[in-house]
Amino acid sequence: MKMMNFVVYFLVLVGAASFFGCEQEPKEITARHVLVMYEGSMRAPETVLRSKEEAKALAEEVLKMANAGKDFSALAKEYSDGPTKVRGGLLSPFGKGVMAPEFEIAAFALKKGAISDVVETGFGFHIIKRVK
């Protein structure tokens, strides 16, 4: 009985999730992204004239470069159409319910340092890198 009480106390003290090797999902994360917009996507400036197909193809090329080890911040500065372009695609920390659902699901699924596949939202095509 004493051993059982000790185990229960230990699990409560340490936290069952960490004891069993399960990581709890963070309340918020930080990420960088490259947003490739197309004509007609949400908030696309008038200067964006590429088609949806062209935007997807460009996003896939940027993904290849990112996966080949190119500096993600530099890729965002060069290829992103989003307002975070000037910060190398760096987003402020965000929690759930803030970003477009497709973006949020992909970003929260990434481990720190990992890069997503191309993610489509109403804003265009994103490549996301989880920072923390």
pLDDT one-digit tens code per residue, 87-102: 999 999 999 999 999 9
- pLDDT, tens digit (0-9, with 9 covering 90-100), for 100-130: 999 999 999 999 999 999 999 999 999 999 9
- pLDDT, tens digit (0-9, with 9 covering 90-100), for 32-46: 999 999 999 999 999
**Above pLDDT 70, what percent of the chain?**
83
Phi-psi region of 30 (alpha: psi -120 to 50; beta: other; left: phi over 0): beta
Four-CA torsion 115, 118, 68, 95, nearest 10 degrees: -20
This prediction's pTM? 0.82
Mean pLDDT taken over the chain? 89
Distance CA(132)–CA(117), nearest Å, equals 18
